[in-house]
Structure 1
Amino acid sequence: MWKPNGRRRTKLLLDYATKMTAYPFNSAYDCVFHAQHKNLYEQYQRFISSFEVRTIPHFEAAEIPSTYILPNKPSNKPPWSLKIPSILYTTHNKSESTTHPLALQLLFAEIRHNYSNHQPIYTDGSENQEKVSAAMYAPPSVDTVRPPNNSSIFSAELYALLLALQRIQSHKSSKFIVFTDSLPSLHSLSSFKITHPLVLQLLEFYNVLLQKSETTVFCGNKKVDSIARTAWNSDMSSFKVPYSDFKPFSTKYKNCFWQLEWDTLVINYIEYSPL
């Protein structure tokens, strides 16, 4: 039977191994996943086993999809040279619960009028249990992608923005306005959260496109939600996601052992007497 500290220790080991998967160039990577002299620990069991010997069996049993983890790489450019996109929070200043739908529609129409010389692009992410999908709608073109199962909706929304930037790269226009209803995505861009690999990719891509276009990213649309849902049943793409999306696997693995211990207890129910 595992002790509570043993369960927590195993979870922390899995969390670290999951994070280390995203840093293949780290000097500790080979020590974690390609340790040498593993047979010696079987011959001399009085020695404390290495991290890999103790962790990898749990890592494999937890079925953490390491092949879908996006490597964390430093920026190709000095971070301070990256420019932050121009972001409008106009629609998010209005609460949908207290604002009449017509008022929101008028606000959206006003934004479209003010940016009438910009090509509109709409993005959204959608979630259905373990499946997530991302969609981009640049009239009349539609593009969808389904990230790996158990990815976060946040990653799907960021991938939808990447799809929009890819469309901008091949478009003839020079000015674009990207609509998204993902407030966390916009906050991550405005706060320069470059520790997140997808946010860093977006900022780098945006700066490359600055030579060609003026891109404005802001929230306030539901047009692409139905399109994103249609991608739930499509094949998974080769896109990878940050390691943090798969951290719940270690918690689930720990809880499975906890549940097993509970099920094997002699008394695992509460007796009560009716009044």
Structure 2
Amino acid sequence: MMTRKTKTTIGLIFLNIFFIILCFLTLVPILYAVSVSLNENNSLLSSNFSFIPKNFTLQNYAAVFVEKPIMLWLKNSLILATSTLVIALGTGIPAAYVFSRKSFVGRKLILRTLILLYAFPSLLSMTALYKLLSPMGLINTKVGLIIVYTGTEAVFALWNMKGYFDTIPHEIEEAAMIDGATPLQIVIRVVLPLAKPTIAVTAMMVLIYVWNEYIFAINFMTGSDTYTLAAGLYSLQATEMNGSWPIFAAASIVVSIPILIVFFALQRNMTTGLTSGGVKG
């Protein structure tokens, strides 16, 4: 008769096998794109297709940087992502702390209004945003797109950070105050270090949103020199329907690399818990 420990071990083995298979299935589209990007033949679907390219070549990746303005699109995306990230976190984090720690008239009404606005489909607000930005000359400009992105992501940062600040015990701040710390020092030296994991997750979510967003980008940015990476890929797909799918696949892989680098750089902070931070503090 199997012991409880043996049953637990067998259960964990099957669970690990299940997740390995699940991870492989989720990687199939990525592996497919990599295979197409390394294939010299211009084929997307064929009966003799294999994940290992029969006509291996790196020419498609070279064509991405030589024939397509990928570096210009990368520059535009970096400017938009960095600006949106700084403004959204710079306004969302202080606002989240205030809403978490302070009580004032209209607090609940403001929070409910913000969540209602955030839940409103952005696609339905496109016409209104266009009419608001057009008289100010902000259409086809990075500033206009940053305003649109920040308006959405600042609310997300506020709500995401507020939920985390609510879980931080008030006793930690009270202890710091007894030790002579000022309110500003409490926030900078106590609260923010504890909130580092959530700040990392929030920053990552904001970055992914801006990096992948293309609906506003293709409608508010009309020139190819102002395209973001997502908008550029969309236009590339539209023009490559009868062209080179391997080049499009290569461009898709190249666009994904910066996000992967940022994710692995933030992975340690994203997996750090509140309890360990409190103990170390």
**TM-score normalized by the length of structure 2:** 0.28
* Structure with greater strand percent: 1
Higher relative contact order (CA 8 A, sep 6+): 2
**TM-score normalized by the length of structure 1:** 0.29
